Amino acid sequence: MEVEFVEKYVAEVPVFELKGMVMGGMHSLAFSERLNSIIEAGEKHIIVDLGGVHWMNSAGIGVLISGVRRLRERGGDLHFAGLSKKVAHYFKVTKLDSVLSIYVSVDRAVECVRQTNMAA
């Protein structure tokens, strides 16, 4: 099963809930296009819930890092929440856990993003 996503807003913060396999390329095209669309619309802080992701390869990580880069260039960030054990392991092995904004839950990520938005 390739990646599926649900887009929603929690306390006015955009959240993408991903499920399945994040493989990059054609597998993640719809997610990547939608993420880029809301970045272009002016969103600066977006949360990606990875709790339902059971597999990710380097191309999939590349899709996420591309979103991080684009948002950071605009003064924002892509925030990650609810990492499954496998994804947490991938992030640790690649040392991405030291450079990404990672939260235990979507609620905690939303709380931090809202504090950041109020401070700005």
Instruction: Check residue 24 and give its pLDDT.
Output: 84
With CA atoms as reference, report the closest residue to 80 among 29, 10, 34, 15: 15
Instruction: Check residue 50 and give its pLDDT.
Output: 97
CA distance 63 to 69: 10
Instruction: Check residue 1 and give its pLDDT.
Output: 64
Q: Could you state, in chain order, the average pLDDT of each consecutive group of 10 residues for the chain (120 residues)? A: 90 96 86 95 97 92 95 97 93 94 97 87
Instruction: Check residue 116 and give its pLDDT.
Output: 87
Say how many C-beta atoms besides its own lie within 10 A of residue 5's C-beta.
19
pTM (2 d.p.): 0.94
In the block, residue with structure tokens 């990875």: 50
The 8-class DSSP code of residue 95 comes to T
Instruction: Check residue 101 and give its pLDDT.
Output: 96
Instruction: Check residue 2 and give its pLDDT.
Output: 82
**Could you tell me the domains of the chain?**
4-113 (3.30.750.24)
* Type of residue at 87: V
Per the CB < 8 A criterion, the answer to whether 50 and 87 are in contact is: yes
